[in-house]
Amino acid sequence: MKLMTIGIYQLCIPFTQAFRHARCLRHASDAVIVRLEDREGVRGYGEGLARPYVTGEHVSSMIGFIRTRLAPSLFALEFDAQCDPFEWVKRISVKWADDHRVQTGIPPWHAAFCAVELALLDWALRRDDRSLTDYLIPERTRVTYSGVISAESPEDAASLARRFVTYGITHLKVKIGVDDDKARLEAIRDAVGPSCELRADANGAWTAGQAVRELTRLQPYRLACIEQPVAGDDVDGLIRVKQECGISVMADESLVTRDQAMNLAARKACDLFNVRISKCGGIVRSLDIAAIARSHGIRVQVGALVGETAILSAAGRHLAASLPDVAYAEGSFGTKLLSEDIAREDLAFGFGREAPVLNGKGLGVTVQ
């Protein structure tokens, strides 16, 4: 069975409120959706979000790469109903990565690979009447999510923190690395009390020296973790922050490729990996990076990019449910952040920050 059509769609879904961090201010989702369809009308959907400061991709270049480099390969594929759909997609994904590494080097084009891999996986599983849970066997029946607070004014940040706690969410991540970090964290800590766990994400805003000074200044607010305190290519800086600050350090922008994961692990540069499926290039690569973390005693956060729709939320849910141990899970905000979503199912987490495992065909969501 061969694919007959490939559709590529750029979304612009307004947010219910703007989201700001040290690198960007966003008002809407800029997700790219890939739709695959065969002659019998079976469809598969995938999603990726381009982040030029992470993978080097812009929306336009990502779409161009899919159209000119990946679409011809997709049309040439033939799915054998006798083969295992997950292993089939895995082999294709690995081959694409190897071919791309030889031919073009960097950037990794991970958002493009992610959108196409997820669409191919969704399509192949649906053709075989299977769910991703048949392959990523859940370790738990529900996934527990964290709340995320953007770099808002101290008053607005505290108000949102109170709403999260009222909703039963007591693990919060706060975006820092901009003005008023101290005032923002003080307002949030006063609002949520001592029992709420706070961690922070600087999105690479500081040098190592600045990070050490700022984190020392923020000690009274008892941060459980600092995510990406220095630039993505500053592994020495990560190590310095880890050694001097006495706080768990999470790698995010420093962790895009498998080689980076191996280097971070070998150098003991961080305590946690933030594995975001679009950033890491899809399910197959994300599983590989999570396995590297597990073998080196590094904890994993299954993260998300701001503006993900139900497709990437579903993929993240499957990954978070299947890993033996997950320190934190993010995403699945659904219409809590997006003014509308693209799936029939509501993937937003519920009260107490929990959401159930998805058992439907393919990725488990029905795109409308």
Tens digit of pLDDT for each residue in 82-124? 889 999 999 998 888 777 664 444 468 999 999 999 999 999 9
Q: Encoding tokens for residue 139? A: 């370790």
Check residue 360 and report its DSSP letter.
Answer: S
Please name which of 218, 330, 247 lies closest in space to residue 238, comparing C-alpha atoms: 247
Q: Please give the Cα distance from 52 to 46 (Å, whole number).
A: 20
Vertex 323, ends 86 and 343: CA angle to 5°? Answer: 60
- What digits encode the pLDDT tens for the residues 237-268? 999 999 999 999 999 999 999 999 999 999 99
The answer to whether 32 touches 11, Cβ cutoff 8 Å, is: yes
| Across 69-91, average pLDDT | 89
* Average pLDDT rounded to a whole number, residues 283-305: 97
pLDDT at 287 over 90: yes
What is the mean pLDDT of the segment spanning 21-34? 94
Spatial separation of the C-alpha atoms in residues 204 and 72, rounded to whole Å: 37
pLDDT at 274: 98
Q: How many other β-carbons are positioned within 10 Å of the β-carbon of residue 309?
A: 24
Give the closest residue to 319 by CA, choosing from 352, 269, 274, 353: 274
Q: How many residues does the chain have?
A: 368
Q: Return the pLDDT at 263.
A: 97
Residue position matching structure tokens 């509308």: 340
Q: What is the pLDDT of residues 174-227, one digit of tens each?
A: 999 998 999 999 999 999 999 999 999 999 999 999 999 999 999 999 999 999
Range scoring the smallest mean pLDDT among 64-68, 82-86, 269-273: 82-86
Q: What is the pLDDT of residue 39?
A: 94
Hey, what amino acid is at 59?
Answer: V
pLDDT band, very low/low/confident/very high, at 130 (cuts 50, 70, 90): very high
DSSP state of 69: I
* Whether 302 contacts 323, CB under 8 Å: yes
What is the model's pLDDT at position 79?
83
With 0-12 / 13-18 / 19 or more C-beta atoms within 10 angstroms meaning exposed / middle / buried, residue 266 is exposed
Contacts of 65 (CB under 8 A, 6+ apart): 57, 109, 112
How much of the chain exceeds pLDDT 70, in percent? 98
Total-model pTM: 0.95
Q: Domains in the chain, please, with CATH?
A: 3-129 (3.30.390.10), 134-356 (3.20.20.120)
How are the residues of the chain apportioned to helix, strand and coil, as percentages rounded to the nearest 5?
A: 40, 20, 35
Structure-model confidence comparison of residues 303 and 107, the more confident one = 303
Q: Over the Cα atoms of the chain, what is R_g?
A: 20
